[in-house]
Amino acid sequence: MDVRGGDGQHIRIIVLYLLDTTSEMGWFPTQLDSEESKWHFDILILLAVIGSSATQKHMPSITASAFGLFPRLLPAPETLLDTRRLYRLPSAANVDVVGVHSGTVLTELNYFATLVHKIEDLEPFEFRSCKIEHNLGHDREKGESNKPIRVKTMSLLNVITIVSIFMSVGLLVFAGVIHDGVALVGVSTMALSTSAASLSAHWSPKLSERDQNAKMPPADVVIRTRGGAFIVVRGDEYVIRELYKGMDSCQYEYPDKVRQVFLALSTLLLMTSVIMFSNSSEKIQIAVGAAYFILNILYWGLALLVEPGDVWDMSRYDIQHDMPQKKGNYTEVLWLAILETRSIDWVRRANIAPKTAPWDEWLREALQNALSGNTTWPAVARKDSIIGVHPREPSHQDANGVPSQV
């Protein structure tokens, strides 16, 4: 064959050679129905069970959303088949929560409080303060909001869930158009398996409440992170108990026995769908594979771009944030917290500062300046001066470790 026609002719010959179907076997399959060289989709169902990492981040909101109860395709549906039932939402560890006046000392931060303050975004030696109240709207006589915490109706999570519902319906219609009864059963059982698993895990937040109306001291709390950042939160006992002192637990829709029935049903439906998908036509397998490919991309995008705090409707609370301040060392940010609270009892109670005579003297002087409103008090210079006067003492740190840059 004459190949002197230029580069275009060369490329044409190479492509024809790679896709040559007259030889024993070409380099790439070109047909679906040929018995010789074709694409195989026997393990395409693996696409359905890939993506657990993408859904795990938003699993609490996925199982709490009402849209999640609809039959639909979901990447890695087996992540919903957990025989354990969590009765408490995950909390943030290595965080001290100290009551300024109440004496409460906790070493973890509740789930919804973590979402409010975005603890993972706090930089070392950063100071924040805020005031949190119940959002009562125009009716200020209620005293306490009855609005629940729930997943936002217009959240991106619900949008993706609705997309998956329509994709499932589209696959059912396509299977009917090509007269593939096996695929109809496969798509239906997979969608129903997700619905049954979601029903078994469906829950709503249950916040701690006060049983008595006795007068309580101010409920302000101070949050300290492992990196030396501080947050002062001002609020009444109702709000502070809901978000910080109490336990934000999961109130499940169905009792444990019913949950086990749903889990068993979901498992059987999932196994049935795997068998049906493996025996369906190649056209529907390609469509199902494309659907799971798209869903995995959507849920990965959700995990990367959307934080859990953006999914939950926290309008139950009226939160007023003050301007954050970034300091260069632990002493400065501790002074700002003392200035805001006008107290040092919480510092000693939670071992926020080293237990040495120089630090005790510095704390007393810091309290005097905080009570007098002296915002220009040189906290670092006074600390260096006081420690320089006293003989060197061994360092004492609390259980969580006070940062060394004091």
Q: What pLDDT is recorded for position 147? A: 84
Average pLDDT rounded to a whole number, residues 178-186: 92
Residues 381 and 263 reside in one and the same domain? no
What does the alpha-carbon distance between residue 399 and residue 121 come to, in Å, rounded to a whole number?
A: 23
175 contact partners, CB below 8 Å, separation of at least 6: 181, 183, 184, 187, 280, 284
Q: Confidence class of residue 401 from pLDDT cuts 50, 70 and 90? A: very low
51 shares its domain with 20:
no
Specify the 3-state DSSP secondary structure of 204. strand
pLDDT at 87: 83
Weakest-pLDDT range from 124-138, 196-210, 244-258, 385-399: 385-399
Amino acid at 180: D
Checking if the pLDDT of 2 tops 50, the result is: no
315-359 pLDDT, tens digit per residue, is: 999 999 998 899 889 999 999 999 999 999 999 999 899 888 889
Residues of the chain above pLDDT 70, percent: 80
Whether 212 maps to a domain, the answer reads no
Residue 354 placed within a domain: yes
Give me the helix-helix angle, 181-201 and 256-278, nearest 10°. Answer: 160
CA distance 192 to 308: 26
How many other C-beta atoms are found inside a 10 Å radius of the C-beta of residue 303? 16
Strands 230-234 and 126-134: parallel
Number of domains in the chain: 3
Is pLDDT at 16 greater than 60 in this prediction?
no
pLDDT of residue 316: 92
For residue 244, the 8-state DSSP code is I
Looking at residue 54, its amino acid is A
β-bridge partners, 222: 98, 232
| β-bridge mates for residue 252, sequence order | 203
Q: Say if 91 falls within a structural domain.
A: no
Between vectors from CA 261 to CA 259 and to CA 266, what angle results, nearest 5°? Answer: 95
**Could you tell me if 9 and 65 lie in one domain?**
no
Q: Is the residue at 80 inside a domain?
A: yes
For residues 90-111, give the mean pLDDT. 91
Please check whether residues 338 and 294 belong to one and the same domain.
no
Are residues 170 and 281 both part of a single domain? yes
Which single residue is written with the structure tokens 């996925």?
Answer: 62
Q: Check whether residue 260 and residue 384 sit in a common domain.
A: no
Q: Number of helices (H) and strands (E), helices first, in the chain? A: 13, 11
pLDDT value, residue 334: 95
Average pLDDT score, the chain: 83
Give me the domain span that covers residue 164: 44-86+151-204+249-309
Average pLDDT value for residue range 58-73: 92
> Does residue 242 form part of some domain?
no
DSSP letters for 212-254: ---------EEEEETTS-EEEEE--HHHHIIIIIS--EEEESS
Residues 296 and 383 in one domain: no
How far apart are the C-alpha atoms of 92 and 216, rounded to whole Å?
27
Indicate if 158 and 82 belong to the same structural domain: yes
> For residue 18, which phi and psi values (nearest 5 degrees)?
-65, -35
Q: How confident is the model at residue 78 (pLDDT cuts 50, 70, 90)?
A: confident
Give SS3 for 23: coil
Confidence label for 399 from pLDDT (cuts 50, 70 and 90): very low
Distance CA 50, CA 188 (A): 19
Residue 365 scores a pLDDT above 70: yes
Among 30, 12, 13, CA closest to 21: 30
Q: Closest Cα to residue 130, out of 319, 309, 335?
A: 319
> Is residue 58, in this structure, part of any structural domain at all?
yes
Pair (158, 262) in one structural domain: yes
List the structure tokens of 141: 């006589």
Could you read off the pLDDT of 228-250 as tens digits, one per residue?
A: 999 999 998 889 999 999 888 89
Q: Say what angle helices 330-341 and 379-389 make with each other, to 10 degrees.
A: 110
Write down the residue that tokens 């006081």 correspond to.
386
Q: Name the residue among 362, 344, 349, 368 with its Cα closest to residue 406.
A: 362
pLDDT band (50, 70, 90) for residue 394: very low
What pLDDT is recorded for position 140? Answer: 52
Q: How far is CA 21 from each of CA 8, 35, 41, rounded to the nearest angstrom?
A: 21, 12, 20
Same domain, 31 and 75: no
Average pLDDT over residues 260-268: 94
- Residue 50 and residue 33 in one domain: no
Which comes out higher in pLDDT, residue 284 or 5?
A: 284
Higher per-residue pLDDT: 103 or 382 = 382
Residue 291 lies in a domain: yes
Residue 267 lies in a domain: yes
Is the pLDDT reported for residue 404 higher than 60?
no
In a shared domain, residues 193 and 158: yes
Reported as a pLDDT band with limits 50, 70 and 90, residue 391 is: low
**Could you read off the pLDDT of 286-298 as tens digits, one per residue?**
899 899 989 999 9
